[in-house]
Structure 1
Amino acid sequence: MRSITRGAVVAAAVATVLAPAAAQASPGPDTTGLMGTFGFGRADVIGEAGLRSGVWSAYAVRSGFAGDDLIVSYPARTTPLASETVVYTAAFNEVADPQAECRKVGAAGVAQRAWVSFRCRTGFVPSYTLLVR
């Protein structure tokens, strides 16, 4: 009887110690936040591209007087993704200043913890691709 009681106590202690580690390992709920205000129509383009790339799980666009607000739901990140992920590409014929838009989205994602770092890669005929980690 004593060995059964001792085994139960040891099992309960191990479960108590390991339970917080298991809870930390499981991904938490998504965070939802404003990624920024962009030109009319651009928030939807960026939101759809981020959804396709898997960087966020959902997005919404709210139109206002100064442009469209992009609201996204994403898992908050404190460590970089395993590899760079392409979020979207902005071309000169789609937006007045694609480099500025790329930097704005990239910096907002870092501030919101949607990703840890970003870079804007320039392409041919002034286009900018947002890559995140």
Structure 2
Amino acid sequence: MSRETPGLCGKETELRSIMRGAIVAGIVAAVLTPAAAQAAPARAAVGLLGTYGFGRAAVIGQSGMEAGIFRAYAVRSGFAGDDLLVSYQTRTAPLEEETVVYTAAFNQVADPQSECRKVGADGVARKAWASFRCRTGFVPSYTLLVR
């Protein structure tokens, strides 16, 4: 004796078909969504990073290029110091490893700690990097490390 209910077989088949379709759609979405997100490049930006002491903007810009943080830089001299204009990839997430941007020593700038903090904060504000820290070295020098 069979215990099947008449008409249930057709509904089971239809339900299985719907479930398979939902599972396939979920797998396709899971596979394609990360690929689409990775394919979208981060936005490039060009603009003023900040104003620094005379001669310092060029040092910071060149060091940032050598570190791979800036794509290009230009210096514009003004009354209060040198403006550092940079081209960079915007960062919304931190880099995997800290990157050294530059080191300022007491014989290069009057207040290396203050300059390091200013450059670091300017970069975060403009999304050139997600975070920073200033590491002190010997003979009062400060190294800007960014993520």
Bin of the TM-score, shorter chain as denominator length: 0.7 to 0.9
- The count of residues paired between Structure 1 and Structure 2 equals 119
Shift of 1:24: 3.6
Matching residue of 1:8: none
Select the residue among 73, 78, 84 that pairs with 1:70.
84
Residues 99-114 of structure 1: pairs in structure 2 closer than 5 A: 99-114=113-128
SS at match of 1:113: coil
- Structure 1 runs not aligned, ≥5 long: 1-13
Matching residue of 1:118: 132
CA distance, structure 2, for counterparts of residue 29 and residue 115 of structure 1: 13
| Alpha-carbon RMSD | 1.9
Matching residue of 1:89: 103
Matching residue of 1:10: none
Matching residue of 1:5: none
Question: What TM-score do the two structures reach when normalised by structure 1?
Answer: 0.82
What is the aligned-residue identity percentage?
72
Select the residue among 35, 38, 45 that pairs with 1:25.
38
Shift of 1:65: 1.0
**1:8-36 Cα deviation digits (max 9, x unpaired):** xxxxxx7xx94x76554232441012111
SS at match of 2:69: coil
- Structure 2 runs not aligned, ≥5 long: 1-27
Question: What TM-score do the two structures reach when normalised by structure 2?
Answer: 0.75
SS at match of 2:108: coil
SS at match of 1:57: strand
Shift of 1:123: 0.1
CA distance, structure 1, for counterparts of residue 85 and residue 35 of structure 2: 30
